[in-house]
C-alpha cells in the first residue's frame, strides 16, 4: 500500500497591471469602430496560428502507474498541505526555451523507475535474487543520464511513497521508493540531478526527507544550498506550529538547523522551543562556536519561560558546563536562587556525571548499537519528542572541571536531596577517571 508524503505548497503574489488613462466620450466613439475592425482581423490571424500550432506539436503521453501494485504497507500517511497556485505564467519565449532545455523521460527510463519502485514482495520478504535484479536496474537507470533523471523527477513529483518492507534496507541500501530515488539522484551528481534534488527540497515537508536532501546537496555542492535547506526547515516548522501540518517526529529538522546553521538559526530554535522544548534546547547547546548558549541562559532565567522549557534549558546548561563559563555562571545563579526543581536536579546530576543527550530519531547518526551501551536511558514525551542519554568519554581535564563545579553547586544548597544527587554525580565522575574509556554513542 502506498502513502502520500507531506509537501509544502509555495505561493507568490501575482502582479496586477496598472490602469491606463481613460479616453473622453467623444474621442472613444470614432476610434472604437476602427479598433473593432482591427481586432477582428487580429483574432482571425491568431485563430489560424493556434490551430496550425496544435496540429504540429504532439501532446506528450502522461506516465501511468500500474493498475495493481504489490508493495508492503508504507509508513504512516501524512496529510498533504496545499495552497492554490498563484504563480503567473512566464512569457511565451521563456516558456518555450525552458521546455526545449528540460530533459524528458523515455519509455525505458520510466520502465526502470517502475522496476525500482513497484516491488512484488512475498510473505517471506525480499529475496537476494530480487535484490540483485533491483541493483542491476538501478545501475541501468543511472546510465540513462538526463532521461533517467527526468523519469525519477516525474515519479517524485507525484508525491507517492512505497515501503520496501522489513529488512529491505539491509539488502538494497534503501527502505523505501523515495529514499532510493533521491539517493540515485545523488549518485548521478549531474546538473540535472542537482536541479531535481533542489526541486524536491522546495516541496517536501517530511523531516527525514529534508535531512536526507540536506546531506546530499551539501555533499554535491558544499555550502551552496544551505540557505535553501534552512528555509525549507523554517517553513515546515512554521506549518507544524500553526497546526497545518502533522509530523510523526520533527527531530531531523532540528538536526539540520544544528548542523547547517549557526547564529542565524538561534531565533528559529528559540521560537520553536515553546513547542519542542527538548529538541530546541539540545540543538541550541550544540550550535557551532557556542552560539546558542546565551539563549539557553535566557530561557533558563526568563520570567515567562514555562517550567518544562526551563528544565530542558537547565539540563543543557549542565551538559555544556565544562566548556562554557557562561553556562556554569547561569546554572550556579539558578541554584543559589533555588530556581531548580528536584526533577531537574536529577537530569543535571546525570549530565554533570558525563551523560550526553542525543536524538533517537536521528537522520545523521547510526544508532544501531545504541541499545548495547551500558547506562543508556531513553525518554519519550507526550508531545512526541524522543531522546536518549548515554555515558560518553570524558578527558581527565573535563572530569576534574566538573568535579570542581559540583563542589560549587554543593556549597550553594542546603537541601539534603540535592546534596545527595550532586554527591552521587561526583562519585561517578571519580569512578570514571579510574575506568577504561567508554564507547561513544554511534561508534
pLDDT digits 0-9 by tens, 275-330:
999 999 999 999 999 999 999 999 999 999 999 999 999 999 999 999 999 999 99
Q: Choose among 333, 310, 328, 326: nearest CA to 318.
A: 328
For residues 399-415, average pLDDT = 94
Set of cell numbers at residue 48: 489560424
Q: pLDDT band for 126, please (50, 70, 90 cuts).
A: confident
The DSSP element (H or E) to which 292 belongs, if any, is: none
**149 φ/ψ angles, rounded to the nearest 5 degrees:** -60, -45
What lies within 8 Å, CB to CB, of 318 at 6+ separation is 327, 331, 347, 348, 351, 352
So what's the pLDDT on residue 14? 33
Summarize the confidence of residues 344-372 as an average pLDDT. 92
Question: Does pLDDT of 267 surpass 60?
Answer: yes
User: Quick one: which of 420, 426, 398, 408 has its CA closest to 330?
Assistant: 408
What is residue 34's predicted lDDT score, i.e. its pLDDT?
A: 42
**Residue 39 or residue 284, greater confidence:** 284
> How many Å apart are CA 194 and CA 224, to the nearest integer?
11
Which residues are registered as beta bridge partners of 125? 122
Instruction: Find the mean pLDDT for residues 152-159.
Output: 96
Residue 39's pLDDT is what?
37
Q: What is the CA radius of gyration of the chain?
A: 29
Q: Which secondary structure element, helix H or strand E, spans residue 429, and what is its range?
A: helix 416-433
**Listed residue (89, 103, 115) closest to 145, CA to CA:** 103
The SS3 assignment for 391 reads: strand
Lowest mean pLDDT among 265-274, 284-293, 386-395: 386-395
Its pTM stands at 0.77
Domain segments of the chain: what residues? Answer: 103-203
Instruction: Show the DSSP H helices in 242-341 as ranges.
Output: 251-260, 266-272, 277-286, 293-301, 307-319, 325-336
Alpha-carbon separation of residue 164 from 46, 71, 174, 302, 321 (angstroms): 52, 7, 8, 48, 44
In the numeric block, the cell 529538522 is attached to: 253
Local confidence band at 76 (pLDDT 50, 70, 90 cut-offs): very low
The model's confidence at residue 369, banded by pLDDT at 50, 70 and 90, is confident
DSSP of 86-150, one letter per residue?
-PPPPPHHHHHHHHHHS----HHHHHHHHHHHS---BTTB--HHHHHHHHHHHHHHHHTTHHHHH
- In angstroms, the Cα distances linking 74 to 237, 247, 368 are 24, 15, 22
Instruction: Reply yes or no on whether the pLDDT at 225 is more than 70.
Output: yes
Question: Confidence band (pLDDT; 50, 70, 90) for 9?
Answer: low
* Higher-confidence position of 63 and 131: 131
Q: What is the dihedral of CA 283, 236, 277, 320, to 10 degrees?
A: 0
- Position 436 scores a pLDDT of 58
With beta carbons less than 8 A apart as the criterion, state whether 71 and 1 touch: yes
CB 182 within 8 A of CB 81: no
> What pLDDT score was predicted for residue 103?
84
Q: Which residues of 361-375 are buried (b: 16+ CB within 10 A; e: fewer)?
A: bbbeeebeebeebee
H helices of 337-415, in order, are 342-352, 396-411
Q: How far apart are CA 212 and CA 403, in angstroms?
A: 40
Residue 112 CB: number of other CB atoms within 10 A? 25
Task: Classify residue 338 as left (phi > 0), alpha (psi -120 to 50) or beta.
Answer: left
Lowest model confidence (mean pLDDT) among 230-234, 245-249, 385-389: 245-249
Question: Which residue from 101, 100, 212 is spatially nearest to 156, judged by alpha carbons?
Answer: 212
CB 81 within 8 A of CB 7: yes
Give the model's pLDDT for residue 173: 93
Amino acid at each position: 500500500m502506498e502513502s502520500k508524503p507531506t509537501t509544502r505548497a509555495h505561493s507568490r503574489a501575482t502582479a496586477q497591471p496598472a490602469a491606463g488613462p481613460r479616453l473622453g466620450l467623444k474621442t472613444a466613439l470614432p476610434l472604437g469602430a476602427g479598433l473593432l475592425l482591427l481586432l477582428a482581423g487580429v483574432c482571425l490571424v491568431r485563430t489560424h496560428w493556434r490551430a496550425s500550432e496544435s496540429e504540429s506539436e504532439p501532446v506528450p503521453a502522461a506516465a501511468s502507474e500500474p493498475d495493481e501494485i504489490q508493495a508492503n504497507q508504507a509508513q504512516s500517511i501524512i496529510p498533504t498541505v496545499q495552497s492554490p497556485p498563484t504563480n503567473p505564467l512566464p512569457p511565451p519565449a521563456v516558456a518555450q526555451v525552458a521546455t526545449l532545455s528540460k530533459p524528458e523521460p523515455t519509455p525505458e527510463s520510466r520502465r526502470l523507475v517502475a522496476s525500482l519502485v513497484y516491488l512484488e514482495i512475498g510473505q517471506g520478504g525480499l529475496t537476494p535474487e530480487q535484490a540483485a535484479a533491483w541493483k542491476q536496474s538501478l545501475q541501468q537507470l543511472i546510465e540513462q543520464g538526463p532521461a533517467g533523471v527526468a523519469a525519477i523527477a516525474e515519479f517524485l513529483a507525484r508525491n507517492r511513497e512505497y515501503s520496501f518492507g522489513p529488512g529491505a534496507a539491509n539488502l538494497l541500501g534503501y527502505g523505501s521508493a523515495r529514499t532510493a530515488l533521491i539517493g540515485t539522484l545523488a549518485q548521478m551528481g549531474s546538473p540535472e540531478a542537482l536541479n531535481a534534488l533542489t526541486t524536491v527540497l522546495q516541496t517536501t515537508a517530511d523531516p527525514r526527507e529534508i535531512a536526507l536532501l540536506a546531506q546530499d546537496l551539501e555533499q554535491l555542492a558544499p555550502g551552496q544550498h544551505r540557505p535553501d535547506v534552512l528555509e525549507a526547515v523554517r517553513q515546515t516548522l512554521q506549518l507544524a506550529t500553526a497546526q497545518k501540518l502533522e509530523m510523526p517526529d520533527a527531530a531531523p529538522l532540528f538536526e539540520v538547523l544544528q548542523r547547517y546553521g549557526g547564529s542565524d538559526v538561534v531565533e528559529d530554535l528559540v521560537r520553536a522551543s515553546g513547542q519542542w522544548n527538548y529538541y530546541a534546547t539540545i540543538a541550541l547547546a550544540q550550535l557551532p562556536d557556542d552560539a546558542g548558549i546565551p539563549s539557553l541562559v535566557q530561557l533558563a532565567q526568563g520570567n515567562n519561560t514555562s517550567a518544562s522549557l526551563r528544565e530542558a534549558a537547565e539540563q543543557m546548561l549542565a551538559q555544556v558546563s565544562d566548556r562554557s563559563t557562561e553556562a556554569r555562571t547561569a546554572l550556579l545563579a539558578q541554584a543559589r536562587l533555588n530556581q531548580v526543581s528536584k526533577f531537574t536536579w536529577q537530569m543535571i546530576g546525570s549530565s554533570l556525571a558525563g551523560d550526553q543527550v542525543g536524538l533517537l530519531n536521528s537522520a545523521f547518526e547510526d544508532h544501531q548499537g545504541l541499545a548495547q551501551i551500558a547506562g543508556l536511558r531513553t525518554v519519550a514525551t507526550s508531545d512526541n519528542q524522543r531522546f536518549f542519554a548515554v555515558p560518553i568519554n570524558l578527558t581527565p581535564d573535563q572530569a576534574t572541571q566538573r568535579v570542581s563545579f559540583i563542589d560549587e553547586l554543593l556549597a550553594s544548597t542546603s537541601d539534603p536531596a540535592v546534596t545527595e544527587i550532586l554527591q552521587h554525580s561526583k562519585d561517578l565522575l571519580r569512578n570514571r577517571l579510574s575506568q577504561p574509556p567508554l564507547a561513544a554513542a554511534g561508534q
